């Protein structure tokens, strides 16, 4: 029933991405303009996630969002920064809809915007970190932090798994387009579209899991000793600025909660 949906058209195009992702060459990330260490990015991601997902931290949304906008425009692209800014503006305006037209629908929209704003910023921080960090450099940073192997191995497998899955999904979409499944056909027949995308993607995921296991064994990912590091990360001025900002917003949050408790 679904044999005609196999993404053979995009298979050859994605073989290079498979090798880069599986063997950890880091070819799925673009060249970052800011020389920020992966450990700084990870610290920034964790602290911002913890702060933004708190309901009492509304005053931190705009400062963190502004820094993320700068990072996206400098490290990613101007278009990505404009898209981020436009999405934040729309979600921020939706917060005020109950004041303009008070009813249950606008209250639900405002609730969605309240949490959507926070989750979107967190997602874009993760996107910035993963798109500007080579996988091999990120794993080297995890080893430099002396993290346990039981934590490093799942993270390294996860970071290599998702780029390959995205590449497979693109191959499926290309094959569907060649066979005439594009444009209005995608949304006029949603169940058919889901079938054509999900079935070959799931079969590809099963194959990718075997390939990842073989690549991990070849690279000695489960060996008891720590691997030899080919490069050492160095902290730069950009690291110092981002760390300072992270510490400032964290201290601001802790200080405000203390004053609120005293009052």
Domain stop point among 131, 163, 190 = 131
93 and 182 belong to one structural domain: no
Contacts of 118 (CB under 8 A, 6+ apart): 52, 53, 61
213 and 149 belong to one structural domain: yes
Is residue 45 one of the residues assigned to a domain? yes
155 and 237 belong to one structural domain: yes
* pTM assigned to the model: 0.72
- Report the pLDDT value the prediction gives residue 248, as an integer from 0 to 100: 92
161 and 214 belong to one structural domain: yes
Domain span including residue 150: 11-24+135-221+229-249
Contacts of 28 (CB under 8 A, 6+ apart): 17, 20, 21, 135, 163
3-state SS record for 100-160: HCCCHHHHHHHHHHHHHHHHHHHHHHHHHHHHCCCHHHHHHHHHHCCCCHHHHHHHHHHHH
- Report the pLDDT value the prediction gives residue 198, as an integer from 0 to 100: 83
Over residues 97-121, the pLDDT tens digits come to: 888 888 888 888 888 998 899 999 9
- Report the pLDDT value the prediction gives residue 45, as an integer from 0 to 100: 92
125 and 158 belong to one structural domain: no
157 and 185 belong to one structural domain: yes
Contact assessment for residue 7 and residue 168, using Cβ atoms and an 8 Å cutoff: yes
Tokens of 6: 């196999």
Mean pLDDT by 10 residues, the chain (263 residues): 43 46 46 79 91 78 92 88 92 87 86 90 90 80 78 76 80 84 75 82 80 72 64 76 92 73 44
d(CA 24, CA 37): 18
Contact assessment for residue 68 and residue 128, using Cβ atoms and an 8 Å cutoff: yes
Q: What are phi and psi of 53, to 5 degrees?
A: -85, 0
142 and 191 belong to one structural domain: yes
d(CA 59, CA 90): 18
- Report the pLDDT value the prediction gives residue 48, as an integer from 0 to 100: 92
- Report the pLDDT value the prediction gives residue 218, as an integer from 0 to 100: 72
Q: What is the total count of domains within the chain?
A: 2
109 and 183 belong to one structural domain: no
Tracing tokens 């999405």 back to the chain, one arrives at 87
d(CA 29, CA 120): 21
Is residue 76 one of the residues assigned to a domain? yes
240 and 151 belong to one structural domain: yes
Q: Identify the sign of the CA torsion 88, 89, 92, 94.
A: negative
Domain stop point among 102, 131, 160 = 131
Is residue 259 one of the residues assigned to a domain? no
Domain stop point among 131, 155, 172 = 131
Q: How far is CA 121 from CA 17, 50, 53, 62, 66, in A?
A: 28, 12, 10, 10, 10
66 and 95 belong to one structural domain: yes
Over residues 156-197, the pLDDT tens digits come to: 777 777 777 788 888 888 888 888 877 777 777 778 888 888
Contacts of 138 (CB under 8 A, 6+ apart): 38, 159
Is residue 97 one of the residues assigned to a domain? yes
């Amino acid at each position: 029933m679904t044999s005609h949906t196999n993404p053979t058209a995009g298979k050859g195009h994605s073989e290079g991405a498979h090798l880069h992702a599986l063997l950890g060459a880091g070819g799925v990330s673009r060249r970052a303009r800011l020389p920020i260490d992966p450990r700084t990015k990870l610290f920034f991601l964790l602290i911002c996630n913890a702060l933004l997902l708190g309901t009492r931290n509304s005053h931190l949304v705009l400062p963190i969002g502004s820094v993320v906008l700068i990072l996206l425009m400098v490290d990613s692209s101007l278009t990505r920064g404009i898209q981020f800014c436009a999405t934040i503006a729309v979600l921020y305006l939706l917060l005020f809809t109950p004041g303009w037209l008070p009813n249950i629908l606008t209250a639900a929209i405002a609730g969605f915007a309240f949490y959507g704003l926070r989750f979107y910023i967190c997602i874009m921080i993760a996107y910035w970190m993963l798109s500007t960090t080579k996988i091999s450099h990120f794993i080297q940073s995890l080893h430099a932090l002396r993290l346990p192997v039981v934590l490093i191995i799942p993270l390294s497998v996860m970071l290599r798994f998702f780029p390959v899955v995205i590449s497979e999904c693109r191959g499926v979409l290309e094959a569907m387009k060649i066979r005439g499944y594009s444009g209005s056909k995608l949304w006029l027949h949603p169940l058919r579209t889901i079938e054509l995308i999900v079935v070959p993607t799931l079969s590809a995921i099963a194959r990718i899991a075997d390939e990842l296991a073989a690549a991990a064994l070849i690279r000695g990912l489960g060996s008891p000793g720590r691997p030899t590091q080919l490069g050492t990360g160095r902290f730069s001025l950009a690291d110092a600025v981002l760390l300072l900002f992270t510490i400032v917003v964290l201290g601001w949050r802790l200080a405000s909660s203390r004053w609120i408790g005293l009052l």
